[in-house]
Amino acid sequence: MTSKEVESLLPSVFKIAVKAGKHLASCQNNLKKSDISSKKSQGIVSKADIESENMIVKDLFKLAPEIPVLAEESFYKKYKEDKSSYELFKENPYMWVIDPLDGTNNFVHGLEYFAVCISLVKKGKPILGVVHAPTKKETFLAVKGAGSFRIIGTNKYSDKNPIKGIRGKRNLHECFLATGFATEKGVVFDNEFKTFKDMMSHCRAIRRMGSAALDLCYTASGVYDGFWERGLAPWDLAAASVICTEAGVQVTEYEGQKLDVFSPTILAARKPTHSLIQNVILE
């Protein structure tokens, strides 16, 4: 698939995300307690998650029936918490990676900080990404090599504007950061909380908003100066990571390795802020 062929998919993927987002917004206004269930350490799932995923998968199949889909709810239903099952997907030359509702806790409690995420991945590397926040009518889009874009206040693809380059900060104490914690309690959680406390002593402020995809997109647009998290799933970071890189954000694992959608950690920030955050994480 050529870069032009990938870029030609973007308007259709945008429409698919907006369609699913409209459904989510409608569901949030009419949410019932019976529509919510637990996924153990993976948090909760709503009826809207599943409906959104079914809509997206169906539309992606119409768009490109030859490309398989890795989607959060269907993956969990089949493989539960067995992350080793990711190996089954790593050999696909192309695949869609989707999160039908990133920020489910926010969604069910009425907070407008959630998104639909759709990414096209080539050999583990995201090459197209759309993150759509339906209640805000805000969308972030990118294709590898073609730049990163933002739509604010409308659902019109023609209203997209390039995300302009921004210099990273040289002093961590001036930085406004975002992060998240693994849902599982124990050693990993304790380590991440220690990093959080260490980072708090170095920076201006940190937010934990509950949607890694939106946190990364706001890092791309310059609202946040950086984002880090351990234990994200492919659907949490695929779309937003290519949006970040195309906006000039350095995206790696904690130790600096190149990121793919199966990476265990993610650190996103512009230079030189990236190395400042990394130094605190690796202390």
- The tens digit of pLDDT for each residue in 199-228 reads 999 999 999 999 999 999 999 999 999 999
Cα gap 140→29, rounded to integer Å: 24
pLDDT band at 42 (very low <50, low <70, confident <90, very high): low
Q: What is the CATH number of domain 172-281?
A: 3.40.190.80
Considering the four listed CATH numbers 3.30.540.10, 3.40.190.10, 3.40.50.300, 3.40.50.1370, the one that applies to the domain covering 3-162 is 3.30.540.10
For the chain, how big is the Rg over CA atoms in Å?
18
pLDDT exceeds 60 at position 176: yes
- Flag the least confident range among 5-14, 76-85, 153-162, 172-181: 76-85
- Flag the least confident range among 8-22, 153-167, 181-195, 264-278: 181-195
**Per-residue confidence (pLDDT) for residue 12, from 0 to 100:** 98
Q: According to DSSP H, which parts of 64-142 are helical? A: 72-79, 104-108
pLDDT band at 38 (very low <50, low <70, confident <90, very high): low
Backbone angles phi and psi of 88, in degrees to 5: -65, -20
Range(s) within the chain of domains with CATH label 3.30.540.10: 3-162
Q: What is the pLDDT of residues 114-126, one digit of tens each?
A: 999 999 999 889 9
Q: What is the pLDDT of residues 67-119, one digit of tens each?
A: 999 987 777 666 555 666 666 667 778 999 999 999 998 998 999 999 999 99
Hey, what are 216's tokens?
């990364």
pLDDT band at 184 (very low <50, low <70, confident <90, very high): low
Of 69, 234, 243, give the one whose Cα is nearest residue 151: 243
**Per-residue confidence (pLDDT) for residue 45, from 0 to 100:** 74
pLDDT exceeds 80 at position 23: yes
Of 232, 270, 267, give the one whose Cα is nearest residue 252: 267
Cα gap 47→23, rounded to integer Å: 11
Between the two ends of the chain, the Cα-to-Cα distance in Å is 42
* CB crowding 227-250: b at 16 or more within 10 Å, else e: bbbbbbbbbbbbbbbbbbbbbbbb
Which residues, in sequence order, are CB contacts of 184 under 8 Å at separation 6+?
41, 231
pTM for this entry: 0.93
Residue linked to tokens 């079914």:
54
